[in-house]
Structure 1
């Protein structure tokens, strides 16, 4: 069994490479398999489990490292107090999802000449309770890879803002089908994934308990909001641009609050929220 070290340094690039390769290829394979399963896309998309497959692949090679990353016990590159008190941040994360949808849907209603789509949950082809549960499971299939594994991995090398930005770019590019749309649509989507990744990264910085449910819950609320209030799935550019703008607006207070929390004096008060180092050397 490999020790996971080369020249005394953890192979973080190898970990990231294996994860991303399997996440991308696995998503494509699962997407091709979906029609044969009969599972409707509206309920859940099997491609969402590509990142979970990526985590599993890395776990087969470096089980101890994956275990510590998923547990949130790795030491970040910089002071985790940059993001402020963890308990306060967690309480603000889930409401940020509906706020994003409210901003985007309101702007769409005002700018879309009445074309904004409002869908009655009872009109869906499948029971809404089933859709909600399936969406949560699918979102967790993504978030165990992006926020619970890759985010902590990149935080061992990059700062508290650079790491989630990088994750957001990779998360957006993972949705390769988006790039078959118009450039403005793809740009709006990438803006949304990066901004949401910043929100999630700052909200979960230093948090160890329930990270998967928190990230998956936020992701689910955004997905359900888009399902019920927007019509971006058919390639319409305006709602996607508005979604990206709404995500950016929602991310700005998180960044400002995090910078304020990093000032001298505030950092000392947030010291208990720092992630402890792992003694066996996983980073």
Structure 2
């Protein structure tokens, strides 16, 4: 299915504002004296992109943000559980290789960091997973749209390209993989997408802040984190892919749904 002209213009406008606003906010952050470990102002770029799109195409943006019908909470719970598992696997592998996997002591109160990280993550995810993902899904499907959004999300972090090429490649792998995980988990959900995506994103950020030192530009922890995220994306894709072709009148259940029914 092709994207409509309105959706093409909406996508282009959202991306232009998200990238431009992030650059301007990032340049202004030092003047605010807000520590980046608390929140990065660039995270509000996508939210501003959504705001501009909503002014230009209010009805279309409202429909996209509303999402689909409410679904079972099992996928949301598994999504939130995936975040600490991904961080734990990467941190454990880093510690085995001699890296410093011990928790660091942030300069700001942890409660403030956690609240700010959730706010910043939701400011990003209202654009990436709540607007851009459903815009691209009819054209590319859940997996293709998730990968595309993840690639754009990774490139949006332009500062990573100043690092070692392996670091940048691992970061892009991480971004695409995490986008695939969220894409499968949130596909077809309604307004709960924002809190679930924001919570998952915030847990990933907090885990990286506390247990990894990839922010220094060190290649090894980012490589390990990218591989951990890639493994999670592969598992989510496997359990979310239909077992076979569905009859026209009834969609085939995916493996995750079957697994959850077996557990019950």
Q: TM-score, normalised by structure 1?
A: 0.84
Q: Does 1:88 align with 2:74?
A: yes
Q: Is the 8 A contact 2:80 2:196 kept in 1?
A: yes
Q: How does 1:1-283 map to 2 (within 5 A)?
A: 9-73=4-68, 86-111=72-97, 113=98, 115-120=99-104, 123-260=105-242, 263-264=245-246, 267=251
Q: What is the distance in 1 between the residues matched to 2:187 and 2:9?
A: 23
- SS of the aligned residue for 2:103 comes to coil
CA-to-aligned-CA distance 1:204-260 (integer Å, 9 cap, x gap): 001114111100000011101001110000100000011100001111111011113
Q: What is the distance in 2 between the residues matched to 1:269 and 1:236?
A: 42
| Equivalenced residues, count | 250
Q: Relative contact order, CA 8 A, sep 6+: which one is greater?
A: 1
Long gaps (5+) in structure 2: 258-264
> Closer, same or farther in 2 for the Cα pair 1:167/1:86, shift >3 Å?
farther
> Closer, same or farther in 2 for the Cα pair 1:90/1:62, shift >3 Å?
same
Root-mean-square deviation (Å):
2.0
Q: What is the distance in 2 between the residues matched to 1:11 and 1:191?
A: 31
> Closer, same or farther in 2 for the Cα pair 1:19/1:200, shift >3 Å?
same
Q: Report which of the two has the higher share of helix.
A: 2
Q: Is the 8 A contact 1:86 1:204 kept in 2?
A: no
> Closer, same or farther in 2 for the Cα pair 1:242/1:65, shift >3 Å?
same
Q: What is the distance in 1 between the residues matched to 2:68 and 2:88?
A: 35
- SS of the aligned residue for 1:160 comes to helix
CA-to-aligned-CA distance 1:71-109 (integer Å, 9 cap, x gap): 1149xxxxxxxxxx7543222100000011011001101
- SS of the aligned residue for 2:202 comes to helix
Q: Is the 8 A contact 1:86 1:205 kept in 2?
A: no
Q: TM-score, normalised by structure 2?
A: 0.89
